[in-house]
Amino acid sequence: MKIAIPVTKSNQLDDHFGQCEFYGVYTISEKNEIVDVQTIKSEQGCGCKSDIAKVLSENGVTIMLAGGIGGGAINVLNNWGIHVIRGCSGNAADIVKQYIEGKISDSGESCSQHENHKGNRNDPVCNN
């Protein structure tokens, strides 16, 4: 399984999918362990209009752990076979570990605006 997460240079989840600097792509083993992490540079801008869903899908990603993300981007990712978990914040590796331990669920909330997304970047959280 491969999990993508929008990240900053300091490996914190970027609060807004379409504004992130990079995507961390985590490869998870059959034993639910992180065995590899790759970084894909983001073409910044609206996530629903970029080709990032195609790129991530072609790299084997099936899960996106995100903070703020709009409905259009979710639809595009879903159309490429990528399931989106919304409402995450904190250190990217910690969030991925929580997800593979079954401690994360989708917040059910999508961004209706592309501004002022808030979250505490110190604690890994995804509506757990």
Q: What is the CATH superfamily name and number for domain 2-126?
A: Dinitrogenase iron-molybdenum cofactor biosynthesis domain (3.30.420.130)
Number of CB atoms found within 10 A of residue 106's CB: 15
Strand pairing partners for 123?
A: none
CA angle centred on 75, ends 72 and 81, rounded to 5°: 145
Instruction: Please state the domain extents for the chain.
Output: 2-126
Question: With 80 as the cut, is the pLDDT of residue 50 above it?
Answer: no
Number of CB atoms found within 10 A of residue 127's CB: 13
77/88 Cα distance (integer angstroms): 17
**pLDDT average, residue stretch 39-51:** 69
41/31 Cα distance (integer angstroms): 28
Q: What is the pLDDT of residues 66-85, one digit of tens each?
A: 988 888 888 999 999 999 99
Q: What is the pTM of this model?
A: 0.82
